Amino acid sequence: MPDVPVTHSRVDVDGIHTFYRQAGPPEAPVVLLPHGYPSSSFQYRNLMPALGDRWRLIAPDLPGFGYTRADDFAYTFDAYAGFLRRFVDTLELTRYTIYLQDYGSQFGLRLAMSAPERVAALVIQNGDIYEDEHGPKYAPLKKMWADPSPQALADVAANVSEAGFRAEFLGEVPETIADRISPDLWTLSWAQVGRPPGPQNLVRLLADQRTTVDWFPRQQAYLRDHQPPTLIVWGPHDGYMPEGAARAYLRDLPDAELHLLGGGHWLLETHLAEVVALMRDFLGRVRW
């Protein structure tokens, strides 16, 4: 497996001093890596050097996560989708494959919908857009979305903590492979967002997640109408997004490649080599 250096930079996006990681030749085809909740570009730290020999991988820390501070940011899904679009334009990226995982799948899909001609392909990994396949762990969130009372908000806010982050990262992964998931994920994430107003901002974002459901039909229509080449790599041990959430994509993308691996929501921690091999084969066949 290649071991290409990863560089660390900052760029101004709408006045936000934005941190991002990058690997690969400047002129190589671009793979854009928006991260999920409650992580940062750190989640891609191992994927990037493994693919950077042939592709240019770019992973920003979105506002309020990682090393990108933004206390005045709106902390809504609309705001993040707009920010990712402006980040891409600031770096003058005009053609790319997008890695869609967790919250990053929402921001990345809206980016794709805003400029379909720029999308070379999609890699989907535990990022769901089919409400009928939501897993049981959505229950407390849906309760809050339906009735955002102070108590419902408080119940969700209690999980915005280092212990809550640990539970998010370990999830439902079998004990036999759980020790592959680095504690750096939750320790670093909490160290970066745990000081006020970080936790309050994240509660606002969790509450706003209810708006994503209204986008699902539009996102499904985008996939159905444009048929971007798509690789689906999925960890089925996921209380939010079980196996059915992966298979649902085949309703709109019948030609997509689907691979169910043995991990969970944070597949790059437990099955990196398998994902890298699948991505190398897939990206090598993409028409850039």
The amino acid present at 17, given as its one-letter code, is H
| Average pLDDT of the residues in 145-173 | 92
pLDDT of residue 124: 99
3-state SS of 156-178?
HHCCCCHHHHHHHHHCCCCHHHH
**pLDDT at residue 215 is higher than 90:** yes
pLDDT of residue 202: 96
How far is it, in rounded angstroms, from Cα 288 to Cα 96?
8
pLDDT of residue 260: 98
Report whether 249 contacts 228 (CB < 8 A).
no
**pLDDT at residue 7 is higher than 80:** yes
pLDDT of residue 3: 81
Class of residue 48 by CB neighbours under 10 A (exposed 0-12, middle 13-18, buried 19+): buried
pLDDT of residue 108: 98
**pLDDT at residue 193 is higher than 80:** yes
| Average pLDDT of the residues in 196-224 | 96
pLDDT of residue 101: 98
| Average pLDDT of the residues in 105-115 | 98
Query: Domains in the chain, please, with CATH?
Result: 6-136+215-283 (3.40.50.1820)
Tell me the CA distances in angstroms from 125 to 65, 264, 279, one per residue in order. Answer: 20, 10, 11
How far is it, in rounded angstroms, from Cα 112 to Cα 223?
10
How far is it, in rounded angstroms, from Cα 195 to Cα 177?
31
pLDDT confidence tier of residue 53, bands split at 50, 70 and 90: very high
Give 197-257 as a DSSP string.
THHHHHHHHHHHGGGHHHHHHHHHHHHHHH---EEEEE-SB-SSS-HHHHHGGGGT-TT-E
pLDDT digits 0-9 by tens, 25-45: 999 999 999 999 999 999 999
**pLDDT at residue 1 is higher than 80:** no
pLDDT of residue 92: 98
**Which residues lie closer than 8 Å to 136 by C-beta, 6 or more apart?**
239
- Give the number of other CB atoms < 10 A from CB of residue 10: 14
Percent of the chain with pLDDT over 70: 100
| Average pLDDT of the residues in 144-171 | 92
pLDDT digits 0-9 by tens, 69-89: 998 899 999 999 999 999 999
pLDDT of residue 149: 85
> Which pTM value belongs to this model?
0.97
The amino acid present at 175, given as its one-letter code, is E
pLDDT of residue 150: 85
**Which residues lie closer than 8 Å to 33 by C-beta, 6 or more apart?**
41, 44, 47, 48, 57, 58, 59, 99, 104
| Average pLDDT of the residues in 60-67 | 98
pLDDT digits 0-9 by tens, 127-154: 999 999 999 999 999 988 998 888 888 8
- Give the number of other CB atoms < 10 A from CB of residue 133: 16
Per the prediction, the chain carries an average pLDDT of: 97
- Starting at the edge strand found earlier in the chain, the sheet holding 6-13 runs 6-13, 16-23, 56-60, 30-32, 96-100, 119-124, 230-234, 257-260
| Average pLDDT of the residues in 10-23 | 98
**22 or 3, which is more confident?**
22
Residue 234 phi, psi dihedral angles, 5° rounding = -140, 140
Residue 128 phi, psi dihedral angles, 5° rounding = -105, 145
What are the E-state strand segments in the chain? 6-13, 16-23, 30-32, 56-60, 96-100, 119-124, 230-234, 257-260
pLDDT of residue 251: 98
